[in-house]
């Protein structure tokens, strides 16, 4: 923290509509990290937010997750980021980042966790035939989609819904709920006492 306000970094890979909602809500974003060329990158640039492209070179078995995670952590530290918000980031990161930023990485997931974890949450909910799904904002831990839940909201599945139509209605909720929850989280962190290298537990 530089002036007592936690510095927020956002990790994104895709369309960036959740990132756009965070920016539109006026939540100060100090850095956007992307793992590939994507619309989120252009969105951040046009909003005047600094962008680090930490290119993921491989999507195969040779992908070095630890080395990649170290590059992401390096980018976050260079920009003195205190709190990280994942917004559709397509790479699962390795354990060290969850130690360095313990309790300070947030995620929005398009389902009511602990149901429908994973990358195809909307498709899986439709396939299961549930009548209600939704969205979850949670603290991210090494185990994917499993950390403490901060906020949830239900979304009804309508007859004839496709993965796209349902996901879009869920995202409409995410675009309100995630910025609100991030803002509250940042306010709660204003009183924390992080050390210069971003390590250390919150004091309350």
Binding site residues, ligand GRF, CB under 6 A: 14-19, 87-88, 108-110, 171, 174
54 DSSP assignment: -
Nearest approach, Cβ of residue 7 and ligand GRF (Å): 21
Closest distance of CB 157 from ligand GRF, Å: 15
Q: DSSP states of 135-148 as a string?
A: EEEEE--SSTT-SP
CA nearest neighbour of 25 among 176, 187, 138: 176
Q: Which residues are designated catalytic?
A: 109
Cα atoms in the Cβ-side hemisphere of radius 13 Å centred on 202: 17
- Whole-angstrom Cα Rg for the chain: 17
- Tell me whether residue 98 or residue 178 sits nearer to ligand GRF (CB atom): 178
Give the Cα separation of 13 and 34 in Å (integer): 5
The minimum distance between CB 119 and ligand GRF, in angstroms, equals: 8
Tell me how far apart the alpha carbons of residues 137 and 10 are, in angstroms, rounded to a whole number: 14
Q: Which is nearer to ligand GRF, 70 or 173 (CB)?
A: 173
- Cβ 92 to ligand GRF, closest distance in Å? 12
DSSP string, 78-105: HTT--EEEEES--SPPPHHHHHHTTT-E
- Residue closest to ligand GRF (Cβ): 88
Question: Is the Cβ of residue 164 or residue 196 nearer to ligand GRF in the bound state?
Answer: 164
Residue 80 or 123: the one with the smaller Cβ distance to ligand GRF is: 123
- Report phi then psi at 120, rounded to 5: -110, 45
């Amino acid at each position: 923290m530089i002036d007592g306000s936690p510095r927020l970094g956002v990790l994104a890979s895709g369309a960036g509509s959740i990132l756009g909602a965070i920016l539109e809500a006026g939540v100060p974003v100090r850095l956007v990290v992307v793992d590939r060329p994507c619309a989120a990158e252009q969105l951040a640039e046009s909003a005047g937010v600094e962008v680090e492209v930490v290119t993921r070179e491989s999507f195969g078995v040779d992908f070095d997750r630890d080395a990649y995670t170290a590059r992401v952590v390096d980018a976050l530290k260079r920009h003195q980021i205190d709190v990280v918000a994942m917004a559709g980031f397509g790479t699962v990161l390795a354990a060290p980042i969850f130690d360095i930023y313990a309790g300070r990485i947030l995620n929005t997931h398009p389902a009511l966790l602990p149901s429908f974890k994973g990358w195809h949450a909307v498709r899986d909910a439709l396939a299961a035939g549930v009548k209600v799904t939704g969205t979850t904002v949670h603290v991210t831990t090494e185990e994917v989609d499993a950390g403490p839940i901060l906020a949830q909201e239900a979304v009804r599945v309508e007859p004839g819904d496709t993965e796209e139509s349902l996901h879009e209605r869920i995202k409409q909720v995410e675009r309100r709920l995630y910025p609100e929850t991030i803002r509250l989280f940042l306010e709660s962190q204003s009183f924390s006492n992080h050390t210069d290298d971003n390590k250390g537990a919150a004091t309350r």
